[in-house]
Structure 1
Amino acid sequence: MASFTGCSTLTQPINGIPAHRLSPDFFPPPKNDLVPVDIALLSLEPPRDYQLGPDDILGVYIEGVLPFNPPNAPPEPPPVNFPEENSTLPPSIGYPIAVQDDGTLALPLIEPLQVEGLTLEQVREKIRQSYIENDILRAEKARPIVTLIKERTFDVIVVREDASSGLAGGRGDQTLRGSDKAASGGLVKLPAYKNDVLHALVETGGLPGLTAKNEVLVLRASEADKRKRADFLRKYWAQQRVAMSDPCYCPPELPEDPSILRIPLRVRPGVIPNIAESDITLQDGDIVYIENRETEVFYTGGLLPGGEHLLPRDYDLDVLGAMALAGQGVGSTAGRSGGGGFGGASSVGGVPPGMLYILRKTPCNGQIAIEVDLAKAVNDPRSRPLVQPGDTLILQYKCEEELLNFGLGTFFTYGIQELLRDN
């Protein structure tokens, strides 16, 4: 009778293993309990007083020297400088003089002064003492003014792949390829003591969106780090070419690149991420990279509407939720033409499909089929495995469900025909 009705469990068998019989190694760890990292850890704590460094521009006024005043001539007032747009600095006075790359400040009539790491007050006092010691100014006339016109900046590159998202939660009639891959960002100039990861993110749109991974990658621009990355990839692929000569070789996953810094944005409760100040400090040419989640998808087929669906980023999705996301609620008949398959049983509310298979990839290009009895899954949360990236969900009828739907469809069709004949 089963072969006559076309029972899919016989004609298209899937050799599945019940979910409760599998090792926990086959199931992803839950992420419902992950908590956001304190974003203050991504920001530098500025010092109380600004400490000078190369490329800072100071406003300096030294009466009688800068600018030079002839004897008996009235002193020229210092110029007033207004800050650039979006700058947090107050207006300053004095003639602009930049701190050199070696950390020195060049002033008239004296040797360059080393000012790197000093505060404005310390620089003012150092200038005063230098002009007094060189017999250029008398102590009562040595009253230099030192202000900050423009702080030094760091050029950082930010690349974000969460700029535009084609899907908020995944839809079966729309693929992810090309929809959330768009990258944005560019060159960002960060002032001193704001050259950190948090300010780089704020300048380019804020924390990563839902289509991005819950982490921030930092690639250093130093030549040493570039060479380290190149050596790492060269050695890895050299090992792979040698190992691939073995027909039984199982390619491992690409290991973590030691030269790339990964900063997590969500962690387990009680876990304090080890984020040092040097990790979040950005220098000229460093790259901040927000990677998308285009590979964190699952697929549906069988009696489920076929499609590719984006997994939620911050919470778990079990098989019942995945079915609802695909447009097939638990307990409803298959939503395709002839889903009941036999005499239109689906049109009169036939028995819904009760078996779901999860095709999950394993190492070495293998696969395991996880069998989920939907009746048990509804009543027992332990029978509802969590969906993980790359899973394929296939919904099928059990053989007895197809036979019952065949009987219901036949009886319904026969009853209608007899009713019309009597009339």
Structure 2
Amino acid sequence: MNRKSLPAGKRASRVLRSFTTVVAAGLLSTAMTGCTALTQPINGVPANRLPNTFFAEPKNDLVPVDISLLSLEPPRDYQISGGDILGVYIEGVLPFNPPNAPPEPPPVNFPDADSTLPPSIGYPIAVQDDGTLALPLIEPLDVEGLTLEQIREAIRDAYIEEEILRPEKARPIVTIIKERTYDVIVVREDGGNLLTQNIAADYIRGTSDKSASGAMIQLPAYQNDVLHALVETGGLPGLNAKNEVKVLRASEADQRKRSQFMQQFYAQQRAAMLDPCACPPELPDDPTILRIPLRLKPGIIPNITPDQVTLQDGDIVYIESRETEVFYTGGLLPGGEFPLPRDYDLDVLGAMAIAGQGVGSTTNSGGAGGILGRGSSAIPPGRVYILRKTRCNGQVAIEVDLTKAINDPKSRPLIMAGDTILLQYRCEEELLNFGIATFFTYGLTELIRSN
């Protein structure tokens, strides 16, 4: 019998039965194979039920530290110490001048091209490490901490007391030929660029060739501070470096303390390995390493003293990379690893956008569309899980309702380093997507054919 010759009621009944059969089969297949909530269950805890210890500290409100605190304030008059080279001229003594001979003019010394000192006059005499100045015919003078004017008076008084020069002839000239310098090592791990996904992945996989850069620099006196060390080697830490500066002192006492600290930590690790139920200890902050933060919470006054930012010979300034501060995506999100912003917060909705999945948009990855082998689904996925690592190799799964997250900022947890973000459909969303796709694919086709 011709399909069109059937009465209208019978045709509608047949279409309804065909559609019901297809939908029932589709719902059954979805429930059995397609619903990830059933086949890949995740025991998540809603974000509003977790204590604050599981969440990241916000950093949008961090205030940059005044960088002038990282430098030393030079004194009004330069104070001499061991390592300075002075220009000294004493008529008749330095240089020795025979009687009745015309005095020799003092030599003029021009500074190096990168020096800020003016030209100097006199013969070069180095100040010893103990702060003394050795001159002809007199005992060494203690000039530690004296200014140039005070050294001139000390030299004049010494030659007059020894009756080597008459008061009217004692007119020494003292200038600075070269300032003392301090050898400092700067190690920086911020030479790369972590603003793109591929470069971040290169760092994680070890395929990047952007290794740490190091330099031995010489800082003049009263410029031997952290700020000048950073300026000499490229400026403040970049975006792919941590918001802090580490200073490792070169003194033997600090080196011994660091060695003892590591020995104690290794002893704790060995003790924990003997107990299978014990939690392996985390490496605490080394108390001998000075950490200078570059951003702080509002209202916190940085306690940075001049002694902390002063660098001595052999000190190490270390800028540590943050190459491991990344998060991962999976599920219905495109899989990948992405760097976290350094200076502002990134919540779960922003992380989804970075991964290429806008909130409320449909997806081509699995779901009803994947089951049918056709385009994207009609109803977007509404649930996200944040897999967050805890101590002792543990994990907590934070469940985020995207509908609540869109309407309530408090329902959008901040992303932490090492998080894995999984986007999933709810079971009812997959069923609805399959039903809608089945209706438009088979129901309309059957209606057209029946008419």
> Is the pair's TM-score, using the shorter chain for normalization, greater than 0.5?
yes
Which one has a bigger Cα radius of gyration? 2
TM-score of the superposed pair, with normalisation by structure 2: 0.89
1:396 matched residue in structure 2? 424
2:95 matched residue in structure 1? 67
1:168 partnered with 2:186: no
1:282 partnered with 2:311: yes
Letter in 1 for 2:321: N
SS in 2 for 1:176: helix
Partner Cα distance (1:172, 1:352) in 2: 31
- Native 8 Å contact 1:217 1:262 kept in 2: yes
Counterpart among 217, 236, 255 of residue 207 in structure 1: 236
Letter in 2 for 1:142: A
Relative distance call for 1:417 and 1:131 in structure 2 (3 A) is same
1:151 partnered with 2:179: yes
SS in 1 for 2:164: coil
Q: CA deviation at 1:305?
A: 1.0
Q: How does 1:263-342 map to 2 (within 5 A)?
A: 263-336=292-365, 340-342=369-371
1:140 partnered with 2:173: no
| Cα-to-partner distance string for 1:214-272 (whole Å, 9 max, x where unaligned) | 11111010111111111111112112212321121012321111111111111111111
2:392 matched residue in structure 1? 364
Counterpart among 271, 290, 295 of residue 261 in structure 1: 290
Partner Cα distance (1:342, 1:227) in 2: 65
2:280 matched residue in structure 1? 251
Higher mean C-alpha displacement, 255-264 vs 327-336: 327-336
- Native 8 Å contact 2:368 2:431 kept in 1: no
2:71 matched residue in structure 1? 43
Relative distance call for 1:404 and 1:319 in structure 2 (3 A) is same
1:34 partnered with 2:91: no
Partner Cα distance (1:47, 1:380) in 2: 55
Which blocks of at least 5 consecutive residues in structure 1 are unaligned? none
Partner Cα distance (2:444, 2:201) in 1: 41
Counterpart among 406, 411, 430 of residue 383 in structure 1: 411
Relative distance call for 1:173 and 1:219 in structure 2 (3 A) is closer
Counterpart among 17, 29, 46 of residue 18 in structure 1: 46
Partner Cα distance (1:172, 1:153) in 2: 39
1:228 matched residue in structure 2? 257
- Native 8 Å contact 1:180 1:294 kept in 2: no
Partner Cα distance (2:329, 2:210) in 1: 22
1:112 partnered with 2:148: no
Partner Cα distance (1:338, 1:383) in 2: 25
- Native 8 Å contact 1:171 1:325 kept in 2: no
Counterpart among 195, 212, 224 of residue 224 in structure 2: 195
Q: CA deviation at 1:343?
A: 2.1
Which blocks of at least 5 consecutive residues in structure 2 are unaligned? 1-27
TM-score of the superposed pair, with normalisation by structure 1: 0.95
- Count of matched residue positions in the alignment of Structure 1 and Structure 2: 421
Q: CA deviation at 1:340?
A: 3.0
Relative distance call for 1:141 and 1:420 in structure 2 (3 A) is farther
Partner Cα distance (1:110, 1:350) in 2: 98
- Native 8 Å contact 1:304 1:335 kept in 2: no
Letter in 2 for 1:364: C
Q: CA deviation at 1:84?
A: 0.8
Letter in 2 for 1:144: P
Partner Cα distance (2:260, 2:33) in 1: 62
Letter in 2 for 1:398: R
Counterpart among 124, 129, 144 of residue 152 in structure 2: 124
Q: CA deviation at 1:98?
A: 0.5
Higher mean C-alpha displacement, 237-246 vs 409-418: 409-418
Q: CA deviation at 1:30?
A: 0.8
1:182 matched residue in structure 2? 211
2:10 matched residue in structure 1? none
Relative distance call for 1:277 and 1:183 in structure 2 (3 A) is same
| Cα-to-partner distance string for 1:290-327 (whole Å, 9 max, x where unaligned) | 00112211111111111111111111110000001111
Relative distance call for 1:422 and 1:140 in structure 2 (3 A) is farther
Q: Percent of aligned positions with the same letter in both sequences?
A: 74
SS in 1 for 2:151: helix
Relative distance call for 1:335 and 1:95 in structure 2 (3 A) is farther
Q: Where is the helix percentage greater, Structure 1 or Structure 2?
A: 2
Relative distance call for 1:404 and 1:306 in structure 2 (3 A) is same
Partner Cα distance (2:199, 2:166) in 1: 83
Relative distance call for 1:76 and 1:409 in structure 2 (3 A) is same
Higher mean C-alpha displacement, 87-96 vs 239-248: 239-248
Partner Cα distance (1:133, 1:21) in 2: 85
